[in-house]
């Protein structure tokens, strides 16, 4: 649809974004009155003229592309049928205008937004002792020690100073006394109504407080006798208001995730395609481009950090059907409750990297996550930020990939318990779980490991192989296919140590929700790429070049035979046709640390939570990491 636009800023990963192009099957035919306008020449003055002549509310230059503008409607957002868009047709004929694209509207849903049992927490008291996820002493019937180990990082002096986190949400209450002094106004913006003030919209019966609560979790001011304490209480928080309009558009998403990438370090998103268990959707063209630009150019080339909530669809949904959570460029985070069980609304998938804490199951109101406003039950990836945030002082050179490596290496099984999926070890000994990823985040562990961290070696991309012939799938027997690969050995793009693996699949099925897809690596690690989605009765679209992603083979040697297994489960007889399966490998050529050290590190940590042992091990790991990296370089 946007094929006529040329992007001046071709990203390194553009080759791969071509394969990632997502054809979502969300509702069709809803058009918003937001326009993407490209001018032939000229700039802000011409644009201002145009908005006046054609009665638009305002316009904003997009930071990506050339002479691209977002035209905002004058009145409150509403949707229109395609035919009634005469104003846009007149604008299109204007000589100054090269191109006009009416933004399609689609649904994006807030996550971690449940009011469990309708119980509120009164926030009139200092709340720190209730923030069990920071320091879990067993309050609220929790399991002592099951926390983010943030105290250890604070003790070492890492509290988020110098770092800005943007909350992409429904606005933040920057006047709130526990947030005001940590608010970064310069880096904030309101894309829902095109102004610099991302203040939430209050109505008579509703209060948009999702973003404010996220901001509180991250950056609530410490030691001020007000409310609680943010995980990175000396960090700055920026508000990006972008969820408060009837429909999401590609420009609003793209503008949000590319807003001030040299000032904002981390973008947090606790929303995504509707978690109804039947949607398959992801970022559109502009947003994909903006993300690619972010990881390549943001933070002076070290890459913007995008943190995403895995999803709220519970066992009915699969976060690999969500192109934001399953993107390699986002760190996707799931959640556990305060006794180590899963929250009931947790979605599982092989692209989740790690977990944080939330409420979500217990009746005890204090088992929720405490933030700076009065309704306190929610979860989100935001707490993860503490860890990320703390690093700037330690190692200013950490890239977006270093962050993922550190997350994989230091997240812990702790006492996390998944009733459905077992904890397993991959081919290099890293312990993972289909729902929790590599386990619960550990701030202290991350800080310690990051102190002497050296940037991971260069990343390469290799197409391991591709099956393009059609293969029938039937209920009675499952389809098994193999791809044997040398992982581009002998070529420039040889991948020897894996980071992410994508399986790009085109398949149709008489019932998409009954389809199950697994992939097993040459080292024997099985990733569940797609689990059953009982509510998904799609019989038409299937998956069209959909990039299923797994993080479970992290660190493995990809050379050998990859196995794909696909079949139908459930009662009714089903059929389908697989049309493509392509395996894409992403990782490094030269040895980082992984195959020699990690096995020891993770297995011993999993055995015991005793601090002495941890410290001893951490030291041993740091020593071997150092020597390994010296050798490696």
Give the binding site for ligand NAG (CB under 6 A): 395-397, 478, 508-510, 516, 518, 528, 539, 565-567, 576-577
By CB under 5 A, tell whether 19 contacts Ca ion: no
Which residue, 30 or 577, is less far from ligand NAG as judged by CB?
A: 577
Which of the residues 152 through 181 are near Ca ion (CB under 5 A)? 178
Yes or no: say if 87 and 54 are a contact pair by the CB < 8 Å rule.
Answer: yes
Residue from 74, 117, 181, 197 touching Ca ion (CB under 5 A): that is 197
Phi, psi angle pair for 481, to nearest 5°: -130, 155
Residue found by looking up tokens 């700055």 in the block:
236
Phi, psi angle pair for 559, to nearest 5°: -75, 135
Rounded to an integer, what distance in angstroms lies between the CA atom of residue 346 and that of residue 181? 34
Residue from 27, 195, 486, 622 touching Ca ion (CB under 5 A): that is 195
Nearest distance, CB of residue 299 and ligand NAG, angstroms = 12
Beta bridge partners of 196: none
Nearest distance, CB of residue 574 and ligand NAG, angstroms = 8
Nearest distance, CB of residue 79 and ligand NAG, angstroms = 30
Nearest to 166 by CA among 231, 271, 259: 259
Nearest to 541 by CA among 512, 566, 568, 518: 512
Nearest distance, CB of residue 532 and ligand NAG, angstroms = 9
Which residue, 14 or 577, is less far from ligand NAG as judged by CB?
A: 577
Which of ligand NAG, Ca ion, none binds 539 (CB below 5-8 Å, type-dependent)? Answer: ligand NAG
Task: Give first-to-last CA distance, the chain, whole Å.
Answer: 45
Which residue, 77 or 314, is less far from ligand NAG as judged by CB?
A: 314
DSSP assignment of 290-307, as one string?
HHHHHHHHTGGGT--EEE
By CB under 5 A, tell whether 275 contacts Ca ion: yes
Which of Ca ion, ligand NAG, none binds 516 (CB below 5-8 Å, type-dependent)? Answer: ligand NAG
C-alpha distances out from residue 157 to 154, 163, 393, 448, Å: 5, 14, 9, 12
Rounded to an integer, what distance in angstroms lies between the CA atom of residue 485 and that of residue 496? 12
Nearest distance, CB of residue 567 and ligand NAG, angstroms = 4
Which of Ca ion, ligand NAG, none binds 556 (CB below 5-8 Å, type-dependent)? Answer: none
Which of Ca ion, ligand NAG, none binds 226 (CB below 5-8 Å, type-dependent)? Answer: Ca ion
Nearest distance, CB of residue 198 and Ca ion, angstroms = 6
Residue found by looking up tokens 């995980």 in the block:
231
Nearest distance, CB of residue 535 and ligand NAG, angstroms = 18
Rounded to an integer, what distance in angstroms lies between the CA atom of residue 280 and that of residue 490? 37
Beta bridge partners of 110: 271
Residue found by looking up tokens 């974004």 in the block:
17
Which residue, 479 or 585, is less far from ligand NAG as judged by CB?
A: 479
Which of Ca ion, ligand NAG, none binds 275 (CB below 5-8 Å, type-dependent)? Answer: Ca ion
Beta bridge partners of 578: 471, 507
Encoded tokens for 518: 């697994």
DSSP assignment of 237-255, as one string?
EEEEE-S-SSSB-HHHHHH
CA 80 to chain centre: 31
Which residue, 51 or 531, is less far from ligand NAG as judged by CB?
A: 531
Yes or no: say if 496 and 573 are a contact pair by the CB < 8 Å rule.
Answer: no
Which of Ca ion, ligand NAG, none binds 263 (CB below 5-8 Å, type-dependent)? Answer: none
Contact mark string toward Ca ion, 305..324, x via CB under 5 A? ------x-x---x----x--
Which residue, 356 or 582, is less far from ligand NAG as judged by CB?
A: 582
Nearest distance, CB of residue 334 and Ca ion, angstroms = 11
Nearest distance, CB of residue 160 and ligand NAG, angstroms = 18
User: Residue 429, by phi and psi: left (phi above 0), alpha (psi -120 to 50) or beta?
Assistant: left
| C-alpha torsion 219→274→440→215, nearest 10 | 0
Which of Ca ion, ligand NAG, none binds 339 (CB below 5-8 Å, type-dependent)? Answer: none
Q: In 457-538, where does DSSP find H-type helix?
A: none
Which of Ca ion, ligand NAG, none binds 311 (CB below 5-8 Å, type-dependent)? Answer: Ca ion
Yes or no: say if 150 and 134 are a contact pair by the CB < 8 Å rule.
Answer: yes
Which residue, 188 or 516, is less far from ligand NAG as judged by CB?
A: 516
Query: What is the β-pairing status of strands 354-357 and 424-425?
Result: unpaired
Which of the residues 207 through 226 are near Ca ion (CB under 5 A)? 220-221, 224, 226
Which of ligand NAG, Ca ion, none binds 467 (CB below 5-8 Å, type-dependent)? Answer: none
Which residue, 253 or 322, is less far from Ca ion as judged by CB?
A: 322
Nearest distance, CB of residue 300 and ligand NAG, angstroms = 10
Which of the residues 408 through 427 are near Ca ion (CB under 5 A)? none
Nearest distance, CB of residue 421 and ligand NAG, angstroms = 8
Nearest distance, CB of residue 225 and Ca ion, angstroms = 7
Phi, psi angle pair for 250, to nearest 5°: -60, -40
Which of Ca ion, ligand NAG, none binds 395 (CB below 5-8 Å, type-dependent)? Answer: ligand NAG
Yes or no: say if 501 and 586 are a contact pair by the CB < 8 Å rule.
Answer: yes
3-state secondary structure of 394: coil
Which of ligand NAG, Ca ion, none binds 478 (CB below 5-8 Å, type-dependent)? Answer: ligand NAG
Q: Which residues bind Ca ion (CB under 5 A)?
A: 178, 190, 193, 195, 197, 220-221, 224, 226-227, 275, 311, 313, 317, 322
């Amino acid at each position: 649809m946007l094929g006529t636009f040329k992007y001046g800023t071709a990203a390194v990963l553009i080759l791969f974004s071509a394969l990632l192009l997502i054809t979502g099957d969300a509702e069709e035919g809803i058009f918003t009155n937001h326009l993407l306008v490209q001018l032939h020449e000229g700039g802000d003055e011409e644009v201002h003229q145009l908005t006046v002549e054609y009665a638009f509310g305002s316009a904003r230059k997009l930071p990506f592309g050339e002479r691209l503008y977002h035209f905002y409607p004058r009145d409150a957002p509403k949707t229109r049928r395609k035919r009634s868009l005469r104003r846009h047709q007149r604008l299109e004929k204007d000589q100054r205008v090269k191109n006009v694209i009416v933004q399609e509207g689609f649904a994006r849903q807030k996550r971690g937004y449940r009011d469990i049992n309708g119980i509120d927490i009164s926030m009139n008291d200092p709340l720190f002792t209730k923030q069990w996820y920071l320091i879990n002493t067993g309050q609220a019937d929790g399991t002592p020690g099951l926390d983010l180990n943030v105290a250890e990082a604070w003790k070492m002096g890492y509290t988020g100073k110098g770092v800005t986190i943007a909350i992409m949400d429904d606005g933040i209450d920057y006047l709130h006394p526990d947030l005001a002094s940590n608010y970064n106004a310069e880096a904030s913006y309101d894309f829902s109504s095109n102004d610099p003030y991302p203040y939430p919209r209050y109505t008579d019966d509703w209060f948009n407080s999702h973003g404010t609560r996220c901001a509180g979790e991250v950056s609530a001011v410490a030691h001020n006798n007000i409310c609680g304490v943010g995980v990175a209480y000396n960090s700055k928080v920026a508000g990006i208001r972008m969820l408060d309009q009837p429909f999401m558009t590609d420009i609003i998403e793209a503008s949000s995730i590319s807003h001030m990438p040299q000032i904002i370090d981390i973008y947090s998103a606790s929303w995504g395609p509707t978690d109804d268990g039947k949607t398959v959707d992801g970022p559109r063209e502009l947003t994909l481009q903006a993300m690619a630009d972010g990881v390549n150019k943001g933070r002076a080339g070290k890459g913007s950090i995008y943190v995403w909530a895995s999803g709220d669809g519970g066992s009915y949904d699969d976060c690999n059907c969500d192109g934001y959570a399953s993107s390699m460029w986002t760190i996707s985070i799931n959640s556990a409750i305060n006794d180590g069980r899963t929250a009931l609304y947790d979605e599982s998938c092989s692209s989740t990297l790690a977990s944080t804490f939330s409420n979500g199951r217990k009746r005890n109101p204090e088992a929720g996550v405490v933030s700076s406003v009065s309704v306190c039950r929610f979860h989100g990836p935001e707490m993860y930020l503490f860890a990320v945030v703390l690093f700037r002082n330690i190692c200013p050179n950490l890239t977006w990939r270093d962050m993922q490596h550190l997350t994989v290496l230091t997240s812990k099984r702790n006492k996390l318990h998944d009733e459905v999926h077992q904890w397993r070890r991959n081919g290099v000994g890293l312990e993972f779980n289909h729902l929790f990823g590599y386990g619960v985040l550990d701030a202290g562990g991350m800080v310690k490991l990051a102190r002497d961290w050296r940037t991971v070696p260069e990343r390469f991309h290799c197409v391991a192989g591709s099956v393009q012939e059609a293969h029938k799938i039937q209920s009675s027997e499952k389809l098994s296919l193999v791809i044997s690969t040398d992982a581009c050995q002998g070529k420039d793009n040889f991948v020897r140590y894996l980071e992410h693996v994508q399986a790009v699949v085109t398949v149709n099925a008489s019932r998409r929700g009954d389809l199950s897809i697994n992939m097993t690596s040459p080292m024997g690690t099985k990733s569940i790429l797609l689990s059953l989605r009982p509510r998904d009765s799609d019989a038409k679209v299937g998956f069209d070049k959909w990039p299923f992603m797994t993080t479970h083979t992290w660190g493995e040697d990809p050379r050998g035979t990859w196995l794909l297994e696909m079949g139908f489960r459930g009662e009714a007889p089903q059929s389908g046709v697989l049309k493509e399966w392509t395996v894409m490998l992403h990782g490094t050529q030269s040895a980082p640390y992984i195959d020699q050290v990690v096995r020891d590190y993770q297995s011993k940590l999993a055995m015991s939570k005793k601090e002495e042992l941890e410290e001893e091990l951490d030291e041993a790991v740091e020593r071997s990491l150092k020597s390994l990296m010296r050798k490696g370089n």
